[in-house]
Structure 1
Amino acid sequence: MFLLKLGLVATSVLLASLAARRYGHGVAGALAGMPVIAGPIMLFVLVQQPAGHAAAIALATLVCLPATIAHLVVFALCATVGAPWWAGLAAANTAIVGGGWALAQLTLPAEAVYALALMAPAVGLLAMRHCARRAGSGPPVGGPVAIPRSELAWRVAAALVMAAAIMLGADVLPVMVSGLLLAIPIAGNVLPCFTLPRHGAQATVALLTGFVRGLFGFAAFFVVLHATLPGAGKAIAACAALAAALSAALAVHLLHQRLARR
């Protein structure tokens, strides 16, 4: 089971990187922002744990989602001021751990958590527009991206190491800590660290902006999962959550395309 989880992580990071090769940084980020890693991990939790425990982890993940947005925005801001990738990585993870801890101290009803989680990506997109302006003008970053095969291997290896630590922790640590671990964007840590030194700040901001767009689907997945688990069975809740994630992703993609044409 553990190896299957790692295989899903490797596949998702590889697919996002291949999407960047074909369609550009923004599409890669949007794909990585979807719950392609946290979703399957959560489904495994559903199989292995009682429904109440899985619902608690889903809610804890939603509580931490604004901190996930802060992680991506902080990394983008660091890229725009010329910080190296390792400084952006350190600052971004400080933001998500500190922000996640602060949010965990709040006692909010589930409805308020839903609202914050669904609003956070919209706020993140506004912040990313500011980052894009700070990044300045340069060559277009919307087309295919050259990524050597050796770099693909390093991306996957880095994601596997990080995913292994998160999965092992999510199974044994308290619910709030498990939720924070699931909210940490594995691809959001790995992909910009390779994008920034090779392709620059503009490309990194485009990648992270796409990632924020993908988090609309992430939020929809966990909101629907938590909302349906008490009254429905695990299988129904899982199917409803997956359908919500795909619907949200499609809606955001179509809206983004329409705005881009305008």
Structure 2
Amino acid sequence: MDARASVLLKLTLVGASVLLSTLAARRFGHGVGGAIAGLPMIVGPIMGFVLLQETPAQANAIALATLVCLPATIVHVLGFAWCATRFRWGVALLAANVAFLSLGAALLALRLPPPWACAVALLSPALGTLALPRRCEAPAAADIPRAELACRVVAAMAMAWCIMRSAGVAPAGLSGLLLAIPITGNILPCFTLPRHGAAATAALLAGFVRGLFGFAAFFVALHAALGRMPTASAYGLAWLAALLAALALRGLTQRARRAPSAGQVSARSTAA
């Protein structure tokens, strides 16, 4: 695949991911839209093309580097979510990306052993979930006009293009960090905060963190399987791991939501 086709593919995947996430938010609420955005909707297909073009060892190194940067993505989400409770989207965006680049550079310089990098990546979404601001918003369809939907897609593709252009001229370490910036994690909350408020933004970003469980599972499974089984099997296993992680987390979330309702019913019965 030549350079132009590769750039076009990446831009198309970015636009499709933002479109799918926004349509899900319109139908099911901001939390569901965020969860879809957090899954490896963009980098998963890109890794498939990487596996076709590169050796398993090179693809494994890319997967490991992605896992190393995942805690920085969690910090990005936390920074935006907490700033959104007090400041406008511009301040939140700046703070989140400064936090991401700072921690990401530190993690890359730390050079964690692969088992540690995998363990930290798997643990990060759980810690991020606990650290998010508690802003209650019931799951419900979100009113997102078509014009805003189009603006989200265009903004995401423009941001992706700028990142790819910048990464091409930046030093190698900085290029890796720029390419790891969560595009949907930047674009979606910037549109959600001014129109829908801090509670909706917190719900969106909480969903995004839930989606990152599947993201982490994808790359941990891919890293563990590459070199130990055929490349196609390793790629399929990675997607299976992401799907199982997403389904398991969805089941746990639904069970947790039902538990308070059951407790309230029991309390009413006792009082009666």
Answer whether TM exceeds 0.5 for this pair.
yes
Picking from 102, 109, 118, the partner of 1:114 is 118
Picking from 59, 64, 69, the partner of 1:59 is 64
Q: Which residue of 2 aligns with 1:189?
A: 186
Shift of 1:163: 2.2
Share of identical aligned residues, percent? 59
TM-score by length of 1: 0.91
Shift of 1:167: 4.7
CA contact (8 A) 1:25 1:145 kept: yes
Mapping 1:80-95, distance limit 5 Å: 80-81=85-86, 83-95=87-99
Q: Counterparts of 2:258 and 2:230 in 1: how far apart (Å)?
A: 42
Which moves more between the two structures, 189-198 or 167-176?
A: 167-176
Deviations 1:208-236 (A, max 9, x none): 00000000000001111111112223212
Mapping 1:1-262, distance limit 5 Å: 1-2=5-6, 3-81=8-86, 83-128=87-132, 131-132=133-134, 135=135, 140-167=137-164, 177=174, 179-262=176-259
CA contact (8 A) 1:13 1:159 kept: yes
3-state SS of the aligned residue for 2:144?
coil
Q: Greater Rg, structure 1 or structure 2?
A: 2
CA contact (8 A) 1:33 1:212 kept: yes
Q: Counterparts of 1:6 and 1:256 in 2: how far apart (Å)?
A: 32
* Partner AA of 2:114 in structure 1: A
* Partner AA of 2:119 in structure 1: A
* Partner AA of 1:88 in structure 2: A
Which moves more between the two structures, 140-149 or 56-65?
A: 140-149
CA contact (8 A) 1:57 1:176 kept: no
Give structure 1 stretches of 5+ with no counterpart.
none
* Cα 1:45/1:165, change in 2 over 3 Å: farther
> RMSD of the alignment, in Å?
1.9
Shift of 1:145: 0.5
TM-score by length of 2: 0.88
Deviations 1:20-52 (A, max 9, x none): 101001000001000001111222222222222
* Cα 1:100/1:17, change in 2 over 3 Å: same
Shift of 1:165: 3.7
Give structure 2 stretches of 5+ with no counterpart.
260-272
